[in-house]
């Protein structure tokens, strides 16, 4: 038995101190995440980006919030290095006269919702998903699940916002054009079935990039489909993009689509084989079935790189428990390796899975080869 202040015999002091330091850094990062969440949700960053340097009184007035809370938030953000601070030379001892500003380059990650550098949605996801920790702990004990619906709107919206820059940017601008058969089909006005469309940004991105194409998006989550319809209308593509609340495995439109896609959703499915089999039925004989999922390592290796750490974190916070909320479930989790997708695809009736040469740090593009 050890006593307070002593180390176990044979302990590695350097390793202990290194891990203790890492855990302390984790605490700092978690506290920063909470503060960034508040800055985004309450409109602080947007107000600073629009107005420039502001005092706590001015920011509170612009955002309809309480000055004392605003002052504490501003000071924390300056201390942690996200904002700059400058005292009023005429009132150097008055904290309400101090002015705070976003440094050059900080506005884009914090406020530009279409920038691939906009990582606030990831922060929002982490903070929002943390609210479900009690349900997740219970799921660990029982083997049950926690669905997207149980996580609530904040998690749903954060995930959609995280993918929005890619789907409205590189997807249609460079990724799909680099796949010859997909690019050709969409340019000539092809039909697309977008499975697991969520808030619809992938469907909308395709429609914006290919003005002749039509897209049918399918998702089981009704609030997501409602949001997708609003987004399509605001983007001006509602005449070519339709969204339906439906389990893709039950959609009956055999052989009707030139391109069938599933963006970052196969790993969430309790029964991915049935959905992949449906995607095979939905595609024309000469059509393309495209799955885009996480670019995880080919094999388990520990320790892993940052992408592997991110995906395991997502899996623990949300995706594995969501998959286990359906019954029966194969319990894939976020870390779906290429060999796993290949096995699912073959069970669904495909001959093979081809990894496409699309260069993205986070996502891997697969073409499923019909049998």
One domain, residues 106 and 159: no
Q: Using CA atoms, how far apart are residues 352 and 348, in angstroms rounded to an integer?
A: 10
Cβ-contact 45, 30 below 8 angstroms: no
* CATH code where residue 276 lies: 3.40.50.150
One domain, residues 291 and 184: yes
Closest by Cα among 351, 316, 367 to 137: 316
- Tens digit of each residue's pLDDT, the chain (371 residues): 444 555 555 678 999 999 999 999 999 999 999 999 999 999 999 999 999 999 999 999 999 999 999 999 999 999 999 999 999 999 999 999 999 999 999 999 999 999 999 999 999 999 999 999 999 999 999 999 999 889 989 999 999 999 999 999 999 999 999 999 999 999 999 999 999 999 999 999 999 999 999 999 999 999 999 999 999 999 999 999 999 999 888 887 666 999 999 999 999 999 999 999 999 999 999 999 999 999 999 999 999 999 999 999 999 999 999 999 999 999 999 999 999 999 999 999 999 999 999 999 999 999 999 98
Is residue 312 in some structural domain? Answer: yes
Is residue 89 in some structural domain? Answer: yes
Cβ-contact 215, 206 below 8 angstroms: yes
* Vertex 115: Cα angle to 114 and 117 (nearest 5): 145
Phi, psi angle pair for 216, to nearest 5°: -110, 120
Is residue 51 in some structural domain? Answer: yes
Is residue 318 in some structural domain? Answer: yes
One domain, residues 107 and 134: no
Is residue 223 in some structural domain? Answer: yes
Place of tokens 């499923």: 368
Q: Using CA atoms, how far apart are residues 148 and 240, in angstroms rounded to an integer?
A: 28
One domain, residues 181 and 87: no
Is residue 352 in some structural domain? Answer: yes
One domain, residues 329 and 353: yes
One domain, residues 135 and 93: no
One domain, residues 138 and 56: no
Number of domains within the chain = 2
Range of the domain at 105: 13-111
Neighbours of 275 (CB within 10 A): 24
Is residue 317 in some structural domain? Answer: yes
Q: Using CA atoms, how far apart are residues 204 and 242, in angstroms rounded to an integer?
A: 10
* CATH code where residue 92 lies: 1.10.10.10
């Amino acid at each position: 038995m050890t006593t307070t202040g002593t180390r176990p015999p044979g302990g590695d002091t350097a390793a202990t101190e290194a891990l203790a330091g890492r855990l302390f850094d984790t605490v700092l990062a978690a506290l920063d995440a909470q503060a960034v969440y508040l800055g985004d949700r309450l409109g602080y960053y947007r107000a600073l980006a629009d107005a420039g340097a502001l005092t706590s009184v001015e920011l509170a007035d612009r955002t309809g919030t309480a000055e004392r809370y605003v002052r504490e938030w501003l000071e924390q953000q300056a201390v942690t290095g996200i904002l700059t601070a400058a005292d009023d030379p005429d009132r150097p001892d008055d904290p309400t006269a101090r002015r705070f500003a976003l440094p050059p380059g900080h506005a884009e990650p914090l406020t530009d919702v279409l920038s691939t550098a906009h990582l606030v949605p990831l922060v929002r996801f982490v903070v929002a998903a943390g609210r479900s920790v009690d349900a997740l702990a219970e799921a660990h004990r029982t083997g049950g699940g926690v669905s997207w619906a149980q996580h609530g709107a904040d998690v749903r919206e954060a995930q959609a916002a995280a993918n929005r820059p890619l789907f409205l940017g590189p997807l249609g601008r460079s990724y799909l054009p680099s796949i010859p058969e997909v690019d050709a089909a969409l340019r000539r006005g092809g039909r697309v079935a977008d499975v697991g469309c969520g808030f619809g940004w992938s469907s909308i991105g395709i429609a914006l990039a290919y003005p002749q194409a039509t897209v049918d998006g399918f998702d089981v989550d009704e609030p997501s489909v409602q949001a997708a319809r609003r987004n399509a209308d605001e983007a001006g593509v509602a005449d070519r993009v339709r969204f339906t609340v439906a389990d893709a495995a039950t959609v009956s439109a055999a052989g009707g689509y030139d391109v069938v896609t599933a963006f970052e959703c196969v790993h969430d499915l309790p029964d991915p084989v049935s959905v992949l089999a449906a995607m095979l039925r939905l595609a024309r004989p000469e059509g393309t079935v495209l799955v885009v999922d996480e670019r995880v390592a080919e094999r388990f290796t520990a320790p892993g790189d940052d992408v592997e750490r991110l995906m395991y974190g997502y899996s623990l916070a949300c995706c594995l428990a969501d998959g286990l909320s359906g019954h029966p479930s194969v319990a894939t989790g976020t870390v779906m390796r290429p060999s796993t997708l290949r096995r699912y695809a073959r069970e669904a009736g495909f001959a093979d899975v081809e990894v496409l040469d699309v260069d993205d740090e986070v996502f891997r593009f697969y073409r499923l080869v019909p049998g």
